[in-house]
């Protein structure tokens, strides 16, 4: 299997507390992965390390065909390398329409001067239509984003991230606060996205993880406790003990 991101031997300490402990993780260029683990396992810190928000004390973070190191790069530079992150809370521009939000996200791909003199091309407009279709918001293109449901805002934000064409998309608890129907639609969007890029989903909801139908990495105390199919990891005695707090 070829590798897009390889994290090896990474550790992070906060005031003497080792939040990530000699962690190793790898993901292929078109792969879906779920990360689960109890509260405080290090899931968020792991994503913070990959995006450059938190600097590790040690370890390697190797990216892409050229095996460049992401360690020490700024967050902006890592984003330009193709790492996109979806936080739990949607952050769409509520006064703008779905169309404007998606167009703005496309525009963000350009440099500051190109943005200043930006006029959407026919190709850009077609891309906005395709993105809206992909996230299931085509019928809502001309609605103000503030009027959308929580689920729709989440999809819009995923669409805005996809507009930037990330090679790796990190998604934090996408199912939180969604109705069952919204969850199902979210699964479909992510599964589709993972056909052409790597998608890492941090999620507590096991039903959601099951529907993603992908390899699962279980974190505990900042390290990988188990990895494999959901059935494999949930029957692992160490995982059961950790979840039951034994
Ligand atoms: N900036 C920080 N300073 C001190 N401790 C931190 C900091 N960030 C995280 N931690 C600690 O590191 C550990 C891992 O936290 P992290 O948020 O990564 O876990 P998590 O698996 O995402 O948990 P949850 O499922 O509750 O979101 C926790 O014990 C947390 O308190």
What confidence score (pLDDT) does residue 110 get?
58
Judged against a pLDDT cut of 80, whether residue 39 lies above it is answered with: yes
Q: Which helix (H) or strand (E) holds 153?
A: helix 150-163
* 160 phi and psi angles, rounded to 5 deg: -65, -35
Residue 224 contacts residue 238 (beta carbons within 8 Å): no
| Per-residue pLDDT tens over the stretch 99-115 | 999 999 987 665 656 66
Rounded CA gap, 36 and 168, in Å?
18
| Per-residue pLDDT tens over the stretch 54-97 | 999 999 999 999 999 999 899 999 999 999 999 888 789 999 99
Share of the chain above pLDDT 70, in %: 95
CA-CA-CA-CA torsion sign (153, 155, 156, 158): positive
Question: How does strand 68-69 pair with strand 58-63?
Answer: antiparallel
- Looking up tokens 């509520």 gives 94
User: Which atom of ligand 1 approaches the CA of 17 most closely?
Assistant: 5
Rounded CA gap, 146 and 84, in Å?
23
- Does the beta carbon of 41 lie inside 6 Å of ligand 1? yes
Single out the residue of 2, 44, 52 nearest to residue 27, CA to CA.
2
Determine the residue of 45, 56, 219 to mutate for testing ligand 1's pocket, defined as the one with the most ligand atoms within 8 A of the Cβ atom. Answer: 45
- The pTM (predicted TM-score) of the whole model is 0.93
| Per-residue pLDDT tens over the stretch 48-60 | 999 999 999 999 9
* CATH architecture of the domain formed by 5-243: 3-Layer(aba) Sandwich (3.40)
| Per-residue pLDDT tens over the stretch 11-37 | 999 999 999 999 999 999 999 999 999
Q: How much is the ipTM here?
A: 0.94
Domain boundaries, the chain: 5-243
Output the CA 19–ligand 1 centroid distance in Å: 7
Residue 199 contacts residue 193 (beta carbons within 8 Å): yes
């Amino acid at each position: 299997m070829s590798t897009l991101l390889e994290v090896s031997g990474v550790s992070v300490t906060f005031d003497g507390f080792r939040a990530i402990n000699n962690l190793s993780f790898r993901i292929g260029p078109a792969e879906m992965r779920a990360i689960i683990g109890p509260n405080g396992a290090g899931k968020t810190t792991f994503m913070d390390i990959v995006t450059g928000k938190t600097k590790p004390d040690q370890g390697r973070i190797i990216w892409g065909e050229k095996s460049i190191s992401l360690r020490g790069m700024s967050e902006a530079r890592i984003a330009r390398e193709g790492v996109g992150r979806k936080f739990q809370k949607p952050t769409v521009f509520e006064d703008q329409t779905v169309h404007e939000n998606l167009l703005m996200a496309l525009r963000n791909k350009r440099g500051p001067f190109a943005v200043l003199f930006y006029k959407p091309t026919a190709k850009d407009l077609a891309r906005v239509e395709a993105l809206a279709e992909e996230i299931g918001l085509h019928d809502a293109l001309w609605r103000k984003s503030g009027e959308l449901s929580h689920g729709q805002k989440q999809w819009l934000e995923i669409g805005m991230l996809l507009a930037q064409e990330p090679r790796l998309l990190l998604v934090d608890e996408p199912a939180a606060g969604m109705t069952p129907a919204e969850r199902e639609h979210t699964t479909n969007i992510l599964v589709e996205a993972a056909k052409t890029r790597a998608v890492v989903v941090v999620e507590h909801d096991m039903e959601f993880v099951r529907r993603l139908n992908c390899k699962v990495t279980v974190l505990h105390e900042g390290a990988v406790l188990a990895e494999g199919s959901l059935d494999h990891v949930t029957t692992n005695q160490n995982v059961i003990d950790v979840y039951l707090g034994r």
